[in-house]
Amino acid sequence: MTARAVTAPPWAMPVRVPAVASISLRRIILEPLRSAVVLGTSSHAIWLLVDDDVAVVSTRDATRLPNAVEIATPAAAEPFASIERGTVPLIGSASIAFGRLNVDVVRWWDPRPAVPRVSKALLGAAIEGLPASVPGIDAAPLGAALENGEPSALAAAARALLGRGPGLTPEGDDYLAGALAATRVLGVATGARRALTAINRANGWLEAEAARRTTSFSAALLRCALGGQVAAPAGAFLRAIAGRGDVDATHRALAGVGHSSGPALAAGIVLGAQSLVHQPLTNTGGSL
């Protein structure tokens, strides 16, 4: 009797896909393999809790987030359809394994936009007429705290925003993230030491409060924002208002992301930029 080879059906064969990953995830992706927890899924992305951080595995046509691992496959190809319910992902050693689907990180990208030095006058002209607030959120406390470089006031303003609104990324979080990221990125570009000092002093408190007051995913995005790391559309907008791009086009693109996330993030960025433009010349300091 002759033995006959058994061939697994195509749907049961392992699949390997290349990916580009944010450098914000370098530590957790390069460490030894360990299990992760699935926080949520969609046709475009899978959200993973890894230790106390969150990684997003997304298709190439999804919005590239600052904590993303982007695969070279569109959502229409249904790359996540083979992942069975109850699968425990394994992440580490430059890969993420979802049973038969294996994601291999082959290169990295930096979610912190590179912007040139820019004067306050040019920055002010770039954001003139753009909305710096969203309905239902009082922008004044956050704007004043950033403008005055007061860490304790920044903490109070952030406390009022964290976790405000429904969803994986509440609107208050998106607004706060935009303002913090703009202050970090554009504060360096304008030489605004006061604003950067305030964020540095409040950084630890903000991370701890975000972990307590909002979703794990949103807290991870806020940690990225504190370091100036943002989603790709937000990065394009920040570069544009610093003189490298079309301000109106990048603002429309960012405001069109999601239901409330894009508009809130865009308004927060404008608020952060405004605080730098209006910042007084002397620093009164302050502490938490």
Phi, psi dihedrals of residue 237, rounded to the nearest 5°: -65, -45
The pLDDT of residue 281 is 54
Residues 142 and 29 in one domain: no
Residues 102 and 124 in one domain: no
Strands 68-71 and 101-109: unpaired
Nearest Cα neighbor of 202 from 154, 147, 139 is: 154
Domain extent, residue 217, equals 120-277
Per the domain annotation, does 2 fall within a domain? Answer: no
Per the domain annotation, does 286 fall within a domain? Answer: no
The pLDDT of residue 194 is 87
- If one counts the domains in the chain, the total is 2
Per the domain annotation, does 287 fall within a domain? Answer: no
Question: CB-based burial of residue 124 (10 Å sphere; 0-12 exposed, 13-18 middle, 19+ buried)?
Answer: middle
The pLDDT of residue 12 is 56
Alpha helices in 31-170 (DSSP H): 120-127, 140-148, 151-161
Q: Mean pLDDT per segment of 10 residues, for the chain of length 288 residues? A: 46 81 97 94 94 95 97 95 88 95 97 96 97 93 93 94 89 97 96 90 93 94 97 98 97 94 97 91 44
Strand pairing partners for 18? 104
Residues 174 and 224 in one domain: yes
Residues 148 and 270 in one domain: yes
Residues 104 and 36 in one domain: yes
Which residues are CB-neighbours of 240 under 8 A, at least 6 positions away? Answer: 126, 246, 247, 249, 250, 251
End residue of a domain, out of 77, 109, 141: 109
What's this model's pTM, rounded to 2 decimal places?
Answer: 0.91
Residues 104 and 129 in one domain: no
The pLDDT of residue 2 is 47
The pLDDT of residue 287 is 39
CB 279 within 8 A of CB 185: no
Per the domain annotation, does 216 fall within a domain? Answer: yes
